[in-house]
Amino acid sequence: MMRLEGKLLDGYGRLVGSGIVLDDDGVLTEVLPAREGVSGWITPGFLDIHNHGGGGASFPDDTDDEGIAAAIAAHRELGTSGLLASLVSMIDPLPAINALVPWCERGELLGIHLEGPYISPHKCGAQNPAAVREPDLDELRSWLEAGRGWIRTMTIAPEVARAQEAAELLLDYGAVPSWGHTSALGAQALERLRDTAESGRARGFGRPPQTATHLFNAMPPLAHREPGPVREFIQAARRGECVVELVADGIHLHPDLVSDVTSYVGDSDDGALGVVFVTDAMAGAGMPDGAYELGGLPVTIADGVARLTHGGAIAGGTARMAEEIKRMVSGDSVSIEQAVRACVAAPAAALGLDDSYAGVTLEWRVGTKPSVVCFEENFDVVDVWREGARIVSHTRN
């Protein structure tokens, strides 16, 4: 038997007890009732729906089993129990898709995110401009077929030709468009958001049929005469028609913006699950400063910040989800309850996942094998469990 004590939050950030008891097989046998004076925190495992890699390996670049396993392991050791493997704009993503699908089918990944190539050539960020192009529906269909239902999101610029047709095709396959890497005006973004929301309702989608890729990054800034797409994405999230990603690492976004958007969107009943924290992690997550690669482009990490070696654009994140939680909560930008909701229930809702999926624990149910993260009071990770199996035990201070 293993007795884990701490302030127990479920995936929605609700305080529901003072710990749990697992048997020798990792099965949850008891939820300890809430009581005063408990130190530390216990949460479900985190879900990262925008993740390019870690541990020195990149999902777009290291498509052998060793590379994929290393990237997954780098995030699991700090409590990310489920993630989407994110690709980038590529001339041919099929080899990477084919390599990742078996990992999805084995429950090691939650699915695949295509970040491009149907994006704005003016907002490539760290994407390869030679791979950026307008939507080709036959090409997209071939990727979706190869993905066998595991392609769950795709970043598209709302202003590109046939963007709505591409969105409709994604919805037909159970995937959702993720608007981003865009030069769109506000009106263009709003049109896509409205049309896609209506398409989702017509299909009985049951969840927001679209997301926004790393809000604020790789899109026009909010301005007083042309608010641009940022304002429209936030308002759509508040209405429950979209989910917005925030890279809450303190580098991509100022913590005050993370606080403002999380509170504003979440204050609405419709937008309660409208904000997700993502890492946008690349190969250098969990690794020291040095030279890495993303989508074939050289990247240099210095002082924990990843930038293209040539040009200097930010090239993904180096934090993992537990590190984002510590930065945001310790800095009083969000509460631990808000952070857990944005890292567990909100990403699950965005992908239409429930507790039956490997690595997903939304509520503590006796008889199940949960994914668990135990924190010290200062939000340092102590223990990690996935599906009832102990992944790692960190040294207590």
Kindly report, residue by residue over 204-249, the tens digit of the pLDDT.
Answer: 999 999 999 999 999 999 999 999 999 999 999 999 999 999 999 9
Residue 349's alpha-carbon distances to 87, 164, 218, 342, in angstroms, are 21, 23, 24, 10
| Residue partners of 29: CB distance under 8 A and separation at least 6 | 1, 21, 22, 23, 366
Average of pLDDT values for 75-95? 98
Sign of the torsion formed by the C-alpha atoms of 166, 171, 177 and 183: positive
Tokens of 299: 């990247």
User: What is the rounded average pLDDT for all residues in the chain?
Assistant: 97
Average of pLDDT values for 189-203? 97
Q: Which among 4, 78, 30 is positioned nearest to 364, based on CA atoms?
A: 30
- Cis amide prior to 158 (ω within 30 degrees): no
pLDDT digits (tens, 9 = 90+) for 86-102: 999 999 999 999 999 99
Its pTM surpasses 0.95: yes
Strand order in the sheet with 41-44: 28-32, 15-22, 2-9, 41-44, 372-375, 381-386, 389-393
State the Cα–Cα distance between residues 85 and 276, nearest whole angstrom.
16
Q: Which among 82, 164, 151, 55 is positioned nearest to 111, based on CA atoms?
A: 151
Residue 174 has pLDDT above 50, yes or no: yes
State the Cα–Cα distance between residues 48 and 349, nearest whole angstrom.
12
Average of pLDDT values for 113-123? 98
Residue 20 has pLDDT above 60, yes or no: yes
Phi/psi-derived region of residue 112, left when phi > 0, alpha when psi is between -120 and 50, beta in every other case:
beta
Q: What per-residue confidence (pLDDT) applies to 396?
A: 55
Residue 397 has pLDDT above 50, yes or no: no
Q: What per-residue confidence (pLDDT) applies to 394?
A: 75
With cut-offs at 50, 70 and 90, classify the pLDDT of residue 392.
confident
Average of pLDDT values for 51-61? 98
pLDDT digits (tens, 9 = 90+) for 292-311: 999 999 999 999 999 999 99
pLDDT digits (tens, 9 = 90+) for 327-360: 999 999 999 999 999 999 999 999 999 999 999 9
Q: How far is CA 219 from the centre of its chain?
A: 18
Average of pLDDT values for 191-206? 96
